[in-house]
Each structure stands twice: as C-alpha cells, then as structure tokens.
Amino acid sequence: MPAAPATPAAPAVVSDSPEIRWRLTSGFPKSLDTLYGAAEMFAKSVSEATDGRFQIQTFAAGEIVGTPQALDAVANNTVEMAHTASYYYVGKDPTYGILTAAPFGLNTRMQNSWFYQNGGIDIANEFYGKAGLYALPGGNTGTQMGGWFRKEIKTVQDLSGLKMRIAGIAGNVMQKLGVVPQQIPGGDIYPALERGTIDAAEWVGPYDDEKLGFYKVAPYYYYPGWWEGGAMIKFFFNKEKLASLPKSYRAVIEAAAAYANIDMTAKYDARNPGALRRLVGGGAQLKPFSQEIMEACLKAANEFYEETSAKNAEFKKVWDNMKAFRNEGYLWFQVAEYTYDNFMIRARARGL
C-alpha cells in the first residue's frame, strides 16, 4: 500500500529567518480528532517547512477562549490565529454563515473551486478584512447528515413545534417551517435529547456523531444535511500579524492550509462509511428526508436569501456570486459526475 502523501513542498527558509511563536485557538474540542486534528497538522507542517523556526501552538476550544469568542480573540490579537467555522458568528452578520455553508449552496468540490479558482478567497477576505481578519480554507466535512430525531419526520407538518439543536442560517430557514431552533453546545446535546428538552439535533456526520452516542436516545438518523452541502472550516489570521510575516513564511502558511483543507475531507470520506455501518448496527434507523420536506426547505431557503439580500449588501454580494457559480457547477456535475455516481450506486445495490 502506498504511503500517505507527504506535506507539500514549501519554499526554502534560510537560516537567518526569524524565530516566531504563535498561538492558535481551535473552535473544536480535542475529542473531535478530525476537526481539531487539522489545526495540529497545519502547525506541524509549518514547523517542519521552516526547520522549527516558526512554531504555532494549538489550543482546543475553551483552553484560551471558547468557540464563540475565537474570532474576536484573533481580531484583538489575544491569539494570532484560529481554526473554526465562521457560521458560529452568524449573529454578527449572516454573511459569516454562508462563507462556511449556505443551505442548498455549494458542495465540497464546488467550494474548493469557488475559493481557489473563482476569487472566493478574495471575496471572503473583503468581508472578513473589515473585522481585522484574513482567512484561508482549512478543511471541509463534506455534505453533512440531517441529524437525529426522537420521532419520525414524514411531512412538513411534523416539523411544526419541533425543538431542534440547529445553528446559524439553517435555524433561520427551519424556523420558517415551524421548527424552534436551539443553540446548544456539543457536550450538552445528548442529555438534552435524553431528557426531551429538545426533539432533534444536527451535528456533523457518522464519524463524529458516533462519538456522541445520539442513536441511543434519538434513533431516527435523517439525511442529507441540506444546510451543509459542504462545511468549509477556515484558518483565521490576525490581518496585521499575517502581513508582518516574511514572504517565505506566508507561502508556507498557504501551502500548509491547503494541505490541511484537502486532508480533512479525505479523512471524513475514509472514516464515515465504517461509522455509519456501526451506527445502523447499533440501532440507528437511517432515513432520507422526504421530497416534500426537501422542496419546502428549498423554498424557505430561497425566501431567506431574498429577504436578507434586500437588507444586507455584503451578504447579497457574496450570495449572488456563489449562487451563479453553483448553477454553473451543477450544469457540469449533472453531465458526468451525477450520471457516473448514480450508475455506481445502482450497480452496487444490484450486487455488481
């Protein structure tokens, strides 16, 4: 079996390059090894590419600041950088939300293409820069699951009054269908489900969900998480600190971030299948959202985009660009990717 890919080549760092020590606060606990591990991989890559002259110490959520304070900590230079999802800060501005994952927006490959090849990094940083931040893609979970439910959800009416742990823009959209969104930290979800304080909860996908044991108290496992067709995590830097680095160190950071970005998706794609099998074997009942529910959610999402774009020019600028790219992307995906994937799914079901 071939070895795992090595850290990508970085520019040579000369012996008189400065010794720099930074701190990185993660938006995730260490128990979520794929999410938190991306920050550790990034720091290791930077150190190795600079012969240890540029060291970045990683801290889990809560060790320096909690997840809700991570971006402010970077902006005010409490720490030099963070690794987190910007949709945790949607309360500041909904634009933070769609720059992680837009309901019925870009899938993972489209996000990478939009950020790297269609000016998405510049578009995002025009927005982030106003808060003193600069961001680079730093990992993607792929399309997430639709969450864990204590009862079956067959119709749109079944959503009415449902108390669901769901964050950000997805909560705004679900609220239009009668869901009562709840903001609950990951560690508090299980007891809330167990006690019936909430009726449902979304998290990430099989590999991470398995760790939290939701299937024991909410057996219905729905898919897909249409609000996260691909959740783009990012490395956030204090804009002035980043600008002060030597050009070679900037290049190292960009290479290390890109490596961590693609590696996260690869890890989830490798680990989710086995976890899904174990969850179903443990009693989880795997179910798709009905066509009726999916179409109602899409209609509600489009209403949200129209309403928000009408009152937020920055949101509109990002969403209009992203939506146009999505529409072109699916023009291509339906020709080859969709046909190939669906053939293989049908072939597998027939045992071929």
| Region at 104 (left for phi over 0; alpha for psi -120 to 50; beta for the rest) | left
Of the candidates 85, 59, 199, 195, the one whose C-alpha atom is nearest the C-alpha of residue 144 is 85
Region 241-246: what's the mean pLDDT?
A: 98
Each residue's pLDDT tens digit, 98-112: 999 999 999 999 999
Region 210-235: what's the mean pLDDT?
A: 96
- Please state, for a pLDDT cut of 90, what percent of the chain lies above it: 91
pLDDT of residue 82: 98
Each residue's pLDDT tens digit, 258-289: 999 999 999 999 999 999 999 999 999 999 99
pLDDT band for position 167 (50/70/90)?
confident
Mean residue pLDDT across the chain:
94
164: Cβ–Cβ under 8 A, 6 or more apart, which residues? Answer: 147, 171, 174, 179, 180, 181, 182, 198, 199, 200, 201, 202
Region 5-17: what's the mean pLDDT?
A: 59
Region 29-47: what's the mean pLDDT?
A: 96
pLDDT of residue 1: 45
Whether the per-residue pLDDT at 15 is higher than 70: the answer is no
181: Cβ–Cβ under 8 A, 6 or more apart, which residues? Answer: 164, 165, 166, 167, 170, 171, 172, 174, 175
- Please state, for a pLDDT cut of 70, what percent of the chain lies above it: 96
pLDDT of residue 2: 44
Whether the per-residue pLDDT at 185 is higher than 80: the answer is no
Dihedral, 94, 99, 104, 105 alpha carbons, nearest 10: 140
